[in-house]
Amino acid sequence: MPRHAHQRVSTRPRRSVGATIIGGIGELLLTAGMLVLLFVVYILWGTGIQTAQAQDRLEDELSVQWGELGPDAPAPDPDLLADGDAYGVLRIPRFGDDWEFTIVQGVLADDLARGPGHYPDTANPGELGNVGIAAHRSGHLSPFADFPDLRVGDTIEIEMADGTYVYQLDDAPDGDSDGNKINISDVWVVDPVPGEPRDTEPTERRITLTTCWPRWGSSHRMYATGTLVSGPTG
C-alpha cells in the first residue's frame, strides 16, 4: 500500500445539532417566504390578467346583446340573465374618469373573479327597491380598491341597454378606512328597504355597493348606498 494512501481526516469543525436545526428552520422560512411572495404576485398580477380577459369577453357579450336591439325593440329583461352573463356597465367618477367595469350577473366567487357582480335577488337599475353590486378590493383588478374614498354626494352610474342610470350616495365611508364596516352576516344592506323586514314594500329606487374589509382580508364587509337621481325615463 502506498504510504500516502492514509485515510483523510476532515479538519472542518462539525456542526452542532442546534446549528443544523437552526439552518433547517432558516431554509424552511426562506422557502415559505418565496411561496408567500409568489402568492402575492399571483393575487396582484395573475388574477388581474384573468379578470382583464374576462372583462373583454363580457364587453363583447354586451355588444352583441345590445347591438341586436332595433330602434323600437324593448330592452332585454335583466331578470332573464343567468349567473355569469354580462349585465351592464359600472362607472364611478370618484375612482377616475376612465374607471369602468362590465358588471356580471351573480356574486359567487367565479362571478366576482370576472368583475363587479349584481346580486341576482336585488332590483335592476331604475326599479323600485335596492340594486346590489359587489366587487373585490384586492386581486382580480381590484375594482373597489379605493372603496373607503367614496363620499356622500358621489355618483354611481350604471349603463344598461335602455340608457344610463345615475345614483347619488347618501351614506358612504367618507374617507374613513373603517367607515360603514359591517359583519359578513349583515346582508340587510341589500334588502329592498335596508334595515326593514325583507317583505317591506319599497318606495325608493336605491343602490348599495358592498366589498370586503379589510382590503387584504374578508373578515367583514363595507358598504355605500344612495338613491336614483336620473335615468332614461327620469
Cα 104 to Cα 87, 201, 233, distances in angstroms: 5, 27, 24
Give the Cα separation of 151 and 94 in Å (integer). Answer: 8
Q: Which helix (H) or strand (E) holds 191?
A: none
Catalytic residue among 6, 118, 136, 140: 136
Decide if 183 contacts 220 (C-beta within 8 A): yes
DSSP lists the bridge partners of residue 134 as 117, 210
Return the sign of the alpha-carbon dihedral for residues 41, 46, 49, 54. Answer: negative
Annotated active-site residue 6? The verdict is no
Smallest CA-to-CA distance from 221 within 208, 204, 207 is with 208
Buried-state track 166-177, b at ≥16 Cβ within 10 A, e below 16? bbebebbbbeee
Q: What is the rounded distance in angstroms from the CA atom of residue 80 to the CA atom of residue 183?
A: 31
Is 140 an active-site residue? no
Contact between residue 227 and residue 150 where contact means Cβ atoms under 8 Å apart: no
Contact 118, 132 (CB under 8 A): yes
Tell me which of 6, 118, 212, 220 is the catalytic residue. Answer: 212
Amino acid at 129: G
Compute the half-sphere exposure of residue 167: CA atoms within 13 Å on the CB side of its CA.
32
Question: Catalytic positions, please?
Answer: 136, 212
